[in-house]
Structure formats: C-alpha cells, structure tokens
Amino acid sequence: MTAKTTRQSIVEDLSEPIAEIVKRYPKRRSAIMPALYLAQEKYGCIDETTYQAISQILDVPEIWVFELASFYTLYNRKEIGKYHLQLCTNVPCMLRGTYDLMEHLQSRLGIKNGETSKDGLFTLTAVECIGSCDVAPAMMINQSYHNNLSKEQLDKILDGLSQAENVL
C-alpha cells in the first residue's frame, strides 16, 4: 500500500467494480471477500485503510471486513515481495523432498520461511497442499505453478527471475 492511498482514493477506485460484484449476491456482506481480492490485486496488500474503504462502499461494519481479512490466509496484510514463493510442505511434497528445497531456498535467499528478501523481490512462505501432489514437490510463484522441483530447477527459476529484474 503506498502512502498516497487514502480511504477516499480507494473508495473512488473500487466503488464501481464492487457494485458489479454486489449484484451476484442477495446480501452485500457476501461481496466482502471478492472486494478484498480486488483491493489486494490493485494495491498489493490490504490494511486498515482498505477495510474502512470497503466498509464504506458496502455499507457494512468495518469489523466484518477485518474478520475476513484476518481469517483467510490468501489475504496479505503486510507487504510481500514482488515474487511470492509459496512452497508446498504438505505430506505428498514432503515425501518427495520438499524440506530439502526449503533449506535450499532459505540459504540461497538468505531469508527464513515467512520473510522477504532485502531487495523486496522475494517472499518465502511454506504453504499447505496446493493440489499438485501428482507432480510433487510443487511451488507457486504468485499465481503460477512450478512442479516436479529439484534444487537445480529452483536455481534456474530464481536465476531467470533475478536476471529479468536486472534487465529492467
């Protein structure tokens, strides 16, 4: 969330798309989850100002917004890196060596699980099953899936991302 974002600017940005979403449901409260996604997509993460703006747009209590933002894990309440590495650590991936990959990522990036690299590029998160068990170990980088991972492949992927950043 940038410093320039205010409740009013969010209300201006999101009122129209949220009004579209509200039409799908008989009650406005149902539109809070999709509204939080809209805000996250636009601003990267969500915070109190977002809750206040959504509460104003939907005319619902702010606590209704906050209780969802704080319950569901896909809402980012703090800033995350440009690339969010979400490594699955559940049983099928564990049996295929995902803990080795986690150690490798931690040492390569110099961060621990849950942290963001100093350059703001990478956030590393151990996640629960992402439904890619047939091609384990698996990881999501933002919305895209990477499967059948090995340390070498991880290095290749990260090298590619870092290079792309240097070119920019």
Partner 1 sequence: MSELVLMKNFAHPDSAGIDHYEKTGGYLGLKKALKDFSPDQVIDTVKTSNLRGRGGAGFPTGVKWSFVPKDDDKPHYLCCNADEGEPGTFKDRLLMERDPHQVIEGMIIAAYAIKAPVAYIYIRGEYGLSIEKISQAIKAAHKKGYLGQNILNSGFSHDIYVHIGAGAYICGEETALLESIEGRRAQPKLKPPFPAVAGLYECPTVINNVETFACVSHIFSRGVEWFTSIGPEDAPGPRLFGLSGQLKNPGVYELPMGISLGELVNNYGGGPLKGKFKAVIPGGVSAPMIPLAGLDVKMNFADLAAADSMLGSAAVIALDETASIPAVARRITEFFSHESCGKCAPCREGLPWASKILNRIESGKGLPGDPQQLEFLCGGIFGNSFCALGDGAAWALRATLKHFRHEYDALITQKTIPVCDRTSA
168 binds partner 1 (CB under 8 A): no
- Strand 144-146 relative to strand 122-127, pairing: unpaired
Q: How far is the CB of 155 from partner 1 (least distance, A)?
A: 19
- If the CB atoms of residues 9 and 141 are measured against partner 1, the closer one turns out to be 141
CB closer to partner 1 out of 67 and 159:
67
Which DSSP state fits 148? S
Other Cβ atoms less than 10 A from the Cβ of 64: the count is 15
Stated length of the chain: 168
Contact 54, 36 (CB under 8 A): yes
Report if residue 63 touches partner 1, rule: CB under 8 A. no
CB of 68 to partner 1, least distance (A): 7
Please provide the distance, in angstroms rounded to a whole number, between the alpha carbons at the two ends of the chain. 22
- Please give the residues from 103 up to 162 whose contact with partner 1 meets the rule CB under 8 A: 103, 128-136, 140, 143-144
Q: How far is the CB of 95 from partner 1 (least distance, A)?
A: 5
**CA pair distance 87, 2, nearest whole angstrom:** 28
Quote the least distance from Cβ 118 to partner 1, whole Å. Answer: 26
CB of 143 to partner 1, least distance (A): 4
Query: Of the two residues 109 and 136, which places its CB atom closer to partner 1 in the complex?
Result: 136
CA gap 47, 2 in Å, rounded? 11
Q: Say how far residue 113 (Cα) sits from the centre of its chain.
A: 14
Residues numbered 66-85 forming contacts with partner 1, rule: CB under 8 A: 67-68, 71-75
Pairing of strands 83-88, 139-141: antiparallel
Contacting residues toward partner 1, per CB under 8 A:
24-27, 29-34, 36-37, 64, 67-68, 71-75, 89-92, 94-100, 103, 128-136, 140, 143-144
